[in-house]
Structure 1
Amino acid sequence: MIAIASLLFVLFLSLIVVRVAAEALILTGISREAARFQARSAWTGTGFTTAESEQVVGHPVRRRIVSALMFLRSAGLVTAASTLMLSFVTVDERGDGLLRVAALVGGLAGLWFLARSPWIGVWMSRVIARALKRYTDLDVRDYAGLLHLAGEYAIMELKVQEASWLAGRNLEDMRLPDEGVLVLGVSHPDGHYAGAPRGDTVIRPGDTLVLYGRSPELSRLGRRRADLAGEAERRMAVGVERQVERNEKTTTGAGR
């Protein structure tokens, strides 16, 4: 049972280290999903050539985080594998083996629950934020917090299709802010990126838009087609946004 306990302890440390690294990456401006992916990739030694990986390599703090994670991985995985083998090599009786399996499964379930705990994530975010601000010379910000990316609000990438309501229109004509949607940037198929695009920017099929707004409205916008039904959906979206604005004004007035 000592070997089982050692294995669970090693796995516990691994989960904590990966969680710490992911939270640190999030606080440097990477999305939560990308940060977790990069932290797990670095810890397992799996290489991926993605835009997020390039952002990690080109950022001094992110590079430091991932480098430390890779260094710790080299010893952690070997230790875990060795302990796992030792935990079963010394089994003399069938009952003892079943007991060890049960202990291992129970311990893994407990670690999984611990790793998924939102309370731990909030606690880690606070601790890591203070550490990054203290030990680095960069102005690290929690962009998710600044943009209030919680609840309904989100940032979404939307690739424009041929039949999309967005295709062939400029931003001024679409008046997306009337629907509560802001266009933060436009990535063209040739690799050119236009940040904070102007109203005369024409959206073409194949462009990828970076949008900010409420998740349900962003999803509906992505499915909207260039037909009469699409125009009706546009009018409905404007009506929904006006209702949201009225509700927010009412709530603000009541809170004073």
Structure 2
Amino acid sequence: MGFIFILLYFLIIALVIEVSVVLFNTTGMKTRVSRFQVISMLTGTGFTTDESKVILDHPVRRKIAAFLILFGAFSLAVIISSISNILADDLRITELIIIVGLLSVIFIILKTPIVKKKFSKQIDDEMEHHYQMYERPIKDVLFLNDEDLVTQVTIDEESQCISKKIDDFIDREDDISVLFINRGEIQIRKELYTTTINAGDQIYLYGNKNDIERRFSKEIRRYEKREEEKLNN
């Protein structure tokens, strides 16, 4: 019975993950990003990726995240307790089967297009009527689509942008807007396009994803390489 209990509980965890993924989808997050973040929150692994900031910046996603963190901590305690009492007779298999059934029904209902569309509309309405502009995710404020991107580019010592002005490496034809430049504790907002770029500057950009990746391809690749090396170490 103990093994059945553990198997059923893992099934509950799997269903909670899939239900949470669907809920994140209704807020505008992509499935692959949602599933990774849900698993991260449940296991307490604490991945600090750009996607995690997308969750923290969204009031509805924060509520889902809070539940997942608490459920993950509770689940760890339950699994450890179950393994230590694997031969106990008081494992509530019937109740677990009911929970599995209910979660399965909830998951199937949430996956239906009509319900997903209704959920998305309700969340949009709640964001519109209950949250001020500054409280909303930047994606909603700027009306971003799949081709838009808000990001930062770090100018390392190997960058060809050093000692140049933004006008020298961003063409006016590019769909790229410079929001500000972060230089240590200073944020440069005025005369952005005539400011000389230094090593270590962080340029915050808004515009077409392809244009940004094309203009700063080398800086982005070096940044990704450094982050990968940090994870491997």
Name the TM-score, length of structure 2 as normaliser.
0.54
Q: How does 1:160-239 map to 2 (within 5 A)?
A: 160-174=155-169, 176-188=171-183, 190-195=184-189, 198-223=192-217
| 1:94-135 deviation line (CA, Å, top 9, x unaligned) | xxxxxxxxxxxxxxxxx9xx99x999987654443334556x
- Tell me the secondary structure at the aligned position of residue 177 of structure 1: coil
Aligned-pair identity (%): 22
Tell me what 1:230 maps to. Answer: none
Q: 1:202 to 1:219 in 2, by over 3 A?
A: same
Instruction: Deviation per CA, 1:151-179: give whole Å up to 9, x if none.
Output: 43323322223453422122345554332
What's the counterpart of residue 157 of structure 1?
152
Letter in 2 for 1:141: R
Is structure 2 residue 13 aligned with structure 1 residue 13? no
* Residue 41 of structure 2: aligned partner: 42
Structure 1 gaps, min length 5: 90-110, 226-256
Aligned to 2:227: none
In structure 2, the CA distance between the partners of 1:152 and 1:133, relative to structure 1 (3 Å rule), is closer
Paired residues of 2:181 and 2:203 also in contact (CA < 8 A):
yes
- Judged with a 3 Å threshold, the aligned counterparts in structure 2 of structure 1 residues 61 and 217 are, in CA distance, closer, same or farther, namely closer
- The count of residues paired between Structure 1 and Structure 2 equals 193
Question: Which residue of structure 2 lines up, in the alignment, with residue 251 of structure 1?
Answer: none
Distance verdict in 2 for CA 1:47–1:129, change over 3 Å: same
Compute the displacement of 1:12 (Å): 0.8
The residue aligned with 2:68 is: 69
Pairing of 1:52-131 with structure 2 (within 5 A) = 61=59, 65=63, 66-79=65-78, 81=79, 125-131=120-126
SS in 2 for 1:213: strand
| Distance in 2 of aligned mates of 1:53 and 1:146 | 18
TM-superposed deviation, 1:223: 3.8
Q: Which AA in structure 2 matches 1:11?
A: A
Structure 2: give runs of 5+ residues left out of the alignment: 88-106, 220-233
Corresponding residue to 2:138 among 122, 125, 143: 143
3-state SS of paired residue (1:11): helix
